[in-house]
Amino acid sequence: MPARPVATRRATLVALSAGVLVTTGCDLDALDPRPVPSPAGTTTTTEPGDGDEALVDTAVASIVATLAVVESARGDAELRRAVTDLDRLHRAHLEELDPEGVRVCGPDADDCPETLGAPDGVGRPGRQALLAQEQAHRTTLADLAGQAASGALASVLASMSAAVAQRLATLPAARRGGAA
């Protein structure tokens, strides 16, 4: 029968971590993710142009560009269901980020197009073009999530990126342009 170890792996790791914290002079309060309360009598405000608005604008532009490619692929019979699902997904994301349509249509929503179809000059993309646009959009959302100052916005953008990735993962191999 093997001898029982003097210290468990967990106890050893905890002791080593504590030793590192003590020797490096780390303050455990600095590791606390909760915000530090402001001193009495001071107020904090978030400026509308704090950088996250630019991220939202970029995300909306990426959604609109992706919707244009999705709309132009609507004629492909093999992609019809996937295109419908992607269209619903992107429109829901657009509604989440731009509920009044201000970023898409400008301040006057009267001149907003009813649909966000493919712009002039965009023909019917192939499967690879659709897949490439969706991958680029997913990457854009993930990158923007990493740049967001607001935790809520970062969470929303990361969730959107994951939703696009899930839709892409559920496409049958034949629809992704690969052989089964």
Q: How many CA atoms lie within 13 A of 135 on its CB side?
A: 9
| Residue given tokens 């969470």 in the structure block | 155
Answer yes or no: is 79 within a domain. yes
42 pLDDT above the threshold of 70: no
In a domain, 17, yes or no: no
Helix/strand number for the chain, H first, E second? 6, 0
Asked, for residue 12, whether it belongs to a domain, the answer is: no
- pTM of this prediction? 0.62
CA 52, CA 58: separation in Å to the nearest integer?
A: 10
**Does pLDDT of 49 surpass 50?**
no
With respect to residue 61, please indicate whether it lies within any of the assigned structural domains. Answer: yes
Question: Is the CB of residue 141 less than 8 Å from the CB of residue 164?
Answer: yes
Residue 85 counted as domain residue: yes
Structure confidence by residue, pLDDT tens digits, 64-90: 999 998 888 887 777 788 888 999 999
3-class SS of residue 50: coil
Does the residue 177 lie in any domain?
no
49/81 Cα distance (integer angstroms) = 39
CATH number for position 101: 1.20.1260
User: Residue 105 belongs to what domain range?
Assistant: 52-169
Cβ burial 44-79 (10 Å sphere, 16+ → b, else e): eeeeeeeebeebbebbbebbbbbbbbbbbbeebeeb
CB atoms within 10 A of CB 41: 5
Token pair for 109: 């929503």
Over residues 87-133, the pLDDT tens digits come to 999 999 999 998 888 877 766 555 565 555 544 444 556 677 888 99
Does residue 38 lie in a domain region?
A: no
What is the domain count for the chain?
A: 1
Query: Does residue 114 belong to any structural domain of this protein?
Result: yes
Question: Mean pLDDT across the chain, nearest whole number?
Answer: 75
